[in-house]
Amino acid sequence: MTEVLVRKTERIAGEVCAPSSKAYTQRMLVASALAYGTSKISVPLVSEDTEATLRAVKTLGAKIDVDGDCWTVEGAQPLRAAQTPIDCGDSGATLRFTIPLAALPPDSSVFLLGKSLERRPIAPLLQTLKQLGVEAYHRRLEGRASIIVEGGGIAGGKATIRGDVSSQYISGLMFACPMARADTEISLNTHLESKIYVKMTQSVLTDHCINIYISEDSDYLHIPSEQIYKPSSHRVPGDFSSAAFLFAAAAITNSDVCIKNLEYETLQGDKAILEVLKRMGVHSKIYPNQVEIKGNGDLLEAVDLDVRDIPDLVPACAVLACYAKGTSKIHDAHRLRYKESDRLLSLYLELKKMGAQIAIDESSLTIEGPCPLHSAVINSHNDHRITMACAIAALGASGETRIQDAECVRKSYPKFFDDLRALGVDVIGGEFDR
Give residue-wise pLDDT tens across range 315-353.
Answer: 999 999 999 999 999 999 999 998 989 999 999 999 999
Gap between the Cα atoms of 323 and 371, Å rounded:
6
Provide the pLDDT for residue 142.
77
Please give the positions annotated as active site. 312
d(CA 356, CA 415): 27
Domains 4-18+239-428 and 22-224 in one fold:
yes
CB 81 within 8 A of CB 102: yes
- Residue 252: the pLDDT is 95
Task: Tell me the one-letter amino acid at 285.
Answer: K
Coil, strand, or helix at residue 412? coil
What's the confidence (pLDDT) of residue 434? 63
Give per-residue pLDDT as tens, 268-302.
Answer: 999 999 999 999 999 999 999 999 998 877 899 99
Are 26 and 97 in contact by the 8 Å Cβ rule? The answer is yes
Euclidean distance between CA atoms 199 and 222, whole angstroms:
14
Question: CA distances (Å), 93 to each of 10, 50, 152, 370, 401, in order?
Answer: 37, 9, 23, 36, 31
Regions of the chain where pLDDT drops below 50: none
Determine which helix (DSSP H) or strand (DSSP E) holds 147, and give its type and residue range: strand 144-149
Amino acid at 222: H
Domain formed by 4-18+239-428, architecture: Alpha-beta prism (3.65)
With CA atoms as reference, report the closest residue to 206 among 359, 374, 31.
Answer: 31
Q: Could you tell me the fold of the domain covering 22-224?
A: UDP-n-acetylglucosamine1-carboxyvinyl-transferase; Chain (3.65.10)
pLDDT of residue 38: 97
Identify the pLDDT of residue 414.
96
Please, how many CA atoms are within 13 Å of residue 143, restricted to the half-sphere of its CB? Answer: 0
Distances 107 to 129, 155, 365 between C-alpha atoms, Å: 16, 15, 46
Mean pLDDT of the chain: 95
Enumerate the domain spans of the chain: 4-18+239-428, 22-224
Distance from C-alpha of 212 to C-alpha of 154, rounded to nearest angstrom? 16
